[in-house]
A and B are shown apart, each in its own frame.
Chain A
Amino acid sequence: MRRRLESMAEDATRALGKGSLPPGPVPEGLIRIYSMRFCPYSHRTRLILQAKGIRHEVININLKNKPEWYYTKHPFGQIPVLENSKHQLIYESVIACEYLDDAYPGRKLYPFDPYERARQKMLLELFYKILGYQNTVFFGGDCISMIDYLFWPWFERLDVYGIADCVSHTPALRLWIAAMKQDPAVCALLIDKNIFLGFLNLYFQNNPDAFDYGLSC
């Protein structure tokens, strides 16, 4: 429990809404992500930030009550958006993930080989069509890599939505889920099931407090 509170520290802040003050510039040595605690698309980008150990700050956006200044970050007010200290803005979750992999040193998440890179991108296209498309533990091979992180947020939510049954006929996928839960980056960002259910409950009632559900501050 204590570990979960600590690991939630980075993104456990109230969402900014209409009337909020625009945040200042991003300090050097840091990258900022505009996010929402329960959004699977920004979850992808936060997984990459976590997996690559990139120093970052999180600003949560109230998606039902967006701040006016947020449209200067994204023309349609979508998340995630990355902002660096050079005022550069990067959006679309997959583009943001690739940008982080390219721009930051350390472990590369996309493979080095052009064909293997292409293969991961083809897999992403097939994601919604073919679930059993894997013959190794992880989607990219024997080690976790970019494609696994890009898929993960939806599978984590399967359990909460109560449709975990849909992977019961695909043992390879169940094995993958178990293996993913052992990854340090995945673990660090695992959403508590009850908190997520609480969020969903308020969200479907169009309650603007939904985004801050579970925060103690």
Chain B
Amino acid sequence: MSGGSARSLGKGSPPPGPVPEGVIRVYSMRFCPFAERTRLVLNAKGIRHEVININLKNKPEWFFEKNPLGLVPVLENSQGQLIYESTITCEYLDEAYPGKKLLPDDPYEKARQKMIFELSSQIPTLLICFLRGQNKDDYSGQKEQLHKEFSKLEEVLTNKKTTFFGGKNISMVDYLIWPWFERLEAVELIDCVDHTPKLKLWMEAMRKDPTVSALITDAKTLRGFTDLYLQNSPDACDYGL
């Protein structure tokens, strides 16, 4: 589990060598919520991995060979196979590696997790708007929308009568949704879960999970990063190092 706190690589950096056997590499960024999904799964499944952080404000030229879209996360294995799009990387890890399965075996239960995940699909877009401060004209309108999206998830937990979205134990869909809720405090929207008590309890349960707590970033650090990132500073991705 090396390199989680390593300085990011930027333009002019030499491309990394091949991935050694027995290890999988994730191209990441310490504060990226999408890459956090992949790191949560790597840790939850105890998969030996190395992390290479990418300076998203000053991307190395070689990184576009890893992902033509130039986005993190990207997985690279020792066979040189590349996988990108956060949800696809997570599912790939669950299928390719042994141990605890994060997605259920039962076809219907697996589909159910994916349907629940779809219910949360507007949350990242909305939160990114708040993170970027792009909603000054319609702050209350967007906040109202966020409440609506949270209510959908609240309904799932109410009907299921379980702590987590997949049942009584943490599973894939919880890890996929978590990074966005981790950031609520940093954008001063933590009061949005006051209307959704089960979702609030879910957040508390998530914080107690060993995998989640090992990768958690506090609100102050997230705010520090966000401020620099919005100024397009090339130092943003290494904030706090």
Residues in A whose Cβ lies below 8 Å from that of B91:
117-118, 121
Interface stretch of the complex, out of B28-36, B79-87, B205-213: B79-87
Q: Kindly list chain B residues whose C-beta atoms are within 8 Å of the C-beta of A98.
A: 110-111, 114
Assess the B118–A95 pair: CB atoms within 8 A.
Answer: yes
Size range of the interface on B?
Answer: 10 to 19
Cross-chain contact B114 with A95 (CB below 8 angstroms): yes
A6 interface residue, CB < 8 Å from B? Answer: no
Chain A, Cβ-Cβ closest to B105:
A102
Of B79, B108, B110, B115, the contact of A92 (CB 8 Å cutoff): B115
A125 touches B85 (CB 8 A): yes
Instruction: Known A114-B96, A117-B92, A118-B91; judge A92-B118 contact (CB<8 A).
Output: yes
A217: Cβ under 8 A from any B Cβ: no
The 7 closest A-B CB pairs, nearest first, are A102-B107, A114-B95, A103-B107, A114-B96, A118-B92, A99-B111, A118-B83
Cβ of B88 within 8 Å of any chain A Cβ, yes or no, is yes
| A122 CB-CB contact with B under 8 Å | yes
**Chain A residues with CB below 8 A from B115, complex form:** 90-92, 95
What 0/1 readout, one digit per residue, does chain B (28-50) give for beta carbons within 8 Å of chain A?
00000000000000000000000
- Known contacts: A117-B92, A118-B88. The answer to whether A90 contacts B81 by CB under 8 A is no
In the complex, are the beta carbons of B118 and A122 less than 8 A apart? no
Is A115 located at the chain interface by the 8 A CB criterion? yes
Say how far B217's CB is from chain A's closest CB, in angstroms: 27
- Mask: chain A, 101-127; 1 = CB below 8 Å from B; 0 = not: 011000000000011011101100100
- Is the beta-carbon distance between B111 and A115 smaller than 8 angstroms? no
Determine which of B85, B88, B96, B111 lies in contact with A90 in the assembled complex, contact meaning CB atoms within 8 Å.
B111
Residues of A within 8 A of B110 (CB): 98-99, 102
| A68-105 interface bits toward B, Cβ cutoff 8 Å, 1 = contact, 0 = none | 00000000000000001010101110011011001100
Which residues on the A side are within 8 Å of B77 (C-beta)?
115
Question: Chain A residues near B108 (CB, 8 Å)?
Answer: 84, 86, 88, 90, 99, 103
Complex contact A115–B85 (CB within 8 A): no
CB atoms of B95 and A117 under 8 A apart: yes
Most chain B CB atoms below 10 A, which of A86, A91, A102, A115: A115
In the complex, A114→B103 CA distance in Å? 14
**A99 touches which one: B92, B95, B107 (CB < 8 A)?**
B107
Of all chain B residues, which has the CB nearest A133?
Answer: B68
- A95 in contact with B92 (CB, 8 Å): no
Specify the chain A residue showing the minimal Cβ separation from B81. Answer: A115
Q: For A91, what are the chain B residues with a Cβ–Cβ distance below 8 Å?
A: 115
Complex interface: chain A residues within 8 A of B89 (CB):
118
> What per-residue 1/0 map shows which CB atoms of B106-147 lie under 8 Å from chain A?
011011001100100000000000000000000000000000
CB neighbours of B95 from chain A (8 A): 114, 117
21 pairs, A vs B, C-beta closer than 8 Å: A84-B108, A90-B108, A92-B118, A95-B114, A95-B115, A95-B118, A96-B111, A99-B107, A99-B111, A102-B107, A102-B110, A114-B95, A115-B81, A117-B95, A118-B89, A121-B85, A121-B88, A122-B83, A122-B84, A122-B88, A125-B88
B166 to chain A, nearest CB (A): 15
Bound Cα distance A103, B77 (Å): 30
- For A114, the chain B residues whose CB sits under 8 A away are 92, 95-96
| Chain A minimum-CB-distance residue to B67 | A122
A102 to B103, CA, bound (A): 13
- A103–B105 CA distance with the chains assembled, in angstroms: 10
Q: Which residue of B lies closest to A99 (CB)?
A: B111
Indicate if the CB atoms of B114 and A92 lie closer than 8 Å: yes
Nearest Cβ distance between residue B173 and chain A, in whole angstroms? 13
Q: List A contacts of B96 (CB < 8 A).
A: 114-115
Chain B residue nearest to A117 in the complex (CB): B95
> Which residues of chain B have C-beta atoms less than 8 A from A84's C-beta?
108
Q: How far is the CA of A122 from the CA of B69 in the complex (A)?
A: 11
On chain A, the residues within 8 Å of B92 by CB distance are: 114-115, 117-118
| Cβ–Cβ contact B85 & A122, under 8 A | yes
Residue of A86, A98, A99 with highest tally of chain B CB at under 10 A? A99
Instruction: Give the distance in Å from the alpha carbon of A143 to the alpha carbon of B89 in the complex.
Output: 25
A88, A96, A121, A122: most-surrounded residue (chain B CB, <10 A): A122
